[in-house]
Amino acid sequence: MIEEKRNNDLRKVVWELYAYIQDNLYLNRPDMQIKGREFNSALLMSLLTGLCEGKELIIGEPGLGKTTSAEYVCALLYRFPLGTIWGSEVSGHPEQTEEKIIGRPDLGKLNKGEEVVVWSHFALLPVKIVDEINRLPETKQSMILDGVDRGNWEYLNAAIINEEYCLFATANYQDRGTNTIVAPLIDRFDVMVESKHPGANLAYFIGGHGSNGVRLRSEELEAEFHSVLSENIPYPVRMKRLDELCDRFGEWLEAQEGIRTLSVADRREIRSSKRSLPFDLDFNAFLRFVVSELSFCHHFGQKRSNEACDAGCHFTGYLCNAVRNCVSNRLPISARNFSQALAWLLGDEEVDLEHLKAVLPFTLAHRTQWKEEVVAQREKEQRSDPLEIYMAKQAVKEMHRRYMEQAGEVKNALAVACRIVEGESMRPVEGDHPIYWEIRRDLGEEVTEV
């Protein structure tokens, strides 16, 4: 009972933060609806990214609030003054170096023969923002792969591992100065969202009084943060001192602006309750259904980006025939993590199909490489999302329709498979969808005939 009350309080704080950012800092229109509630997808996904230690890629035209929305969310969820966040941001440009991103040798100590690493603020802080990530050349993108994936930063012989961290990266649409984000890096992002134009009427207010984030700055505290970050003290001690400063900034925000924010303990509690939320069977079955459609290949065993499947394949109607690559194991992780966070935010007791449906397009959009002919068919269609997100939304809609037509049968097939593995003598359920074929493969059947 006490736990439930505490959980509700924390949820209330997050809702207040969402409303505060939406009303004052990141003015934008709602563009999605979940269980009757309207949300702005960029803001919602950023908030969930911060809550569940995720990684978000924000795309959009220059000047439409990609970086600032991430900064506001980080400042309020993690209690860092905006100035400290600005100081830790890494900007993507061709001349970027490991020394600026991760750390550099302490030159004074080096002169004395000591090898001491001065870690960048980016590597130290739990909130990490990479601005214009696609301006980093492909060769330099690999420098941040490990850090992005595990919060593991290495320089010379030293290493730090972030106990808590979330990452936001922004990317402009392709122009002369941009590079492709390499597949291993883009796959590490949990979600991709677009920071959209808010429309002429809301845009009119942007930059006016109170909407430029000045409220989230405290120069005095920023100086203290800077001082702690620059001190040469062990990482755990430094983080402890940073936490104390964060709490002071939180108190300052509450006193100055009347905004309640989250402490480290609060965030841990939220994550713990989020993790305890169970997934319902439809969530479970639909996610398997989706993964099977995006990884299955009848001819080659699985999707591979260097192998094109035949035109006359029996599975032409499924997405395996429309995509080039195989979906990675990070997709179900992202989908589960974000769906749980969403379910927690909505106060639901179980993570269900609706949560998954809402989250899936954003987890799929950047991970799916569509075949050229499929893109050609879709790119001219009327839409309000960038092509990648639009196609992911359409794909989810299509897969959801297919799932609903045979949900009972899919769950039955999985239940029968469970009993077969447990030793019962039963025949696996046969069906046309790749999920049935995957089940039969898991049961050790050599499935070759269509």
Partner 1 sequence: MKNPFLDFQSVPCRKKEIPLERIVRARKEIMDRLSEGYLRLVEEEVKDLVWLVEHSHVVRTYSAAVSAIQDLQYDQDDIEEFCAELDNANAFPYMISGPAGIYLSALINNAAEEHILLRLSEYERTFHFLGYRLPEGKTLVLQGNLGDFIGAGLCGGRLMVEGTAGNWCGAGMTGGEILVTGYTGQKTGEWMRGGEIHVDGPIGGFGRARFGGKIYQRGKLVVPHESE
**Residues binding partner 1 (CB under 8 A):** 281, 284-285, 408-409, 411-412, 414-419, 421-422, 426, 429, 439, 442
Q: What minimum distance in Å lies between the beta carbon of 410 and partner 1?
A: 10
Tally Cβ neighbours within 10 Å of residue 300: 13
Q: What minimum distance in Å lies between the beta carbon of 293 and partner 1?
A: 17
| Residue 262 and residue 10 in contact, taking contact as beta carbons nearer than 8 Å | yes
Q: What minimum distance in Å lies between the beta carbon of 419 and partner 1?
A: 6
Which residue lies nearer to partner 1 by CB, 422 or 449? 422
Which residue lies nearer to partner 1 by CB, 361 or 428? 428
d(CA 399, CA 185): 26
Which residue lies nearer to partner 1 by CB, 62 or 408? 408
Which residue lies nearer to partner 1 by CB, 182 or 426? 426
Which tokens go with 76? 């309020």
- DSSP secondary structure string for all residues of 370-420: B-HHHHHHHTTS--SS-HHHHHHHHHHHHHHHHHHHHHHHHHHHHHHHHHH
Question: What phi-psi label fits residue 395: left (phi over 0), alpha (psi between -120 and 50 degrees) or beta?
Answer: alpha
Which residue lies nearer to partner 1 by CB, 388 or 438? 438
Which residue lies nearer to partner 1 by CB, 35 or 419? 419
Q: What minimum distance in Å lies between the beta carbon of 187 and partner 1?
A: 23
| Residue 364 and residue 322 in contact, taking contact as beta carbons nearer than 8 Å | no
Strand-pair partners of 103: 119
Contacts by 299-304 with C-beta closer than 8 Å and gap 24+? 302/326, 303/327
| Residue 71 and residue 129 in contact, taking contact as beta carbons nearer than 8 Å | yes
Q: What minimum distance in Å lies between the beta carbon of 295 and partner 1?
A: 14
d(CA 263, CA 172): 33
Q: What minimum distance in Å lies between the beta carbon of 412 and partner 1?
A: 5
Q: What minimum distance in Å lies between the beta carbon of 302 and partner 1?
A: 16
Which residue lies nearer to partner 1 by CB, 374 or 426? 426
| Residue 438 and residue 447 in contact, taking contact as beta carbons nearer than 8 Å | no
H or E element at residue 91: strand 90-91
Q: What minimum distance in Å lies between the beta carbon of 435 and partner 1?
A: 12
Which residue lies nearer to partner 1 by CB, 24 or 337? 337
CA dist 48 → 59, 342, 408, 435, 441 (Å): 17, 7, 31, 30, 36
d(CA 144, CA 92): 11
Helices and strands in the chain: count of H runs, count of E runs: 20, 13
Q: What minimum distance in Å lies between the beta carbon of 110 and partner 1?
A: 50
Which residue lies nearer to partner 1 by CB, 348 or 409? 409
For 153, list phi and psi in degrees, rounded to 5. -115, 130
Q: What minimum distance in Å lies between the beta carbon of 407 and partner 1?
A: 11
Tally Cβ neighbours within 10 Å of residue 144: 26
d(CA 163, CA 150): 9
Which residue lies nearer to partner 1 by CB, 283 or 315? 283
* Nearest partner of 148 among 131, 169, 134, 132, judged by Cα: 169
| Residue 407 and residue 282 in contact, taking contact as beta carbons nearer than 8 Å | yes
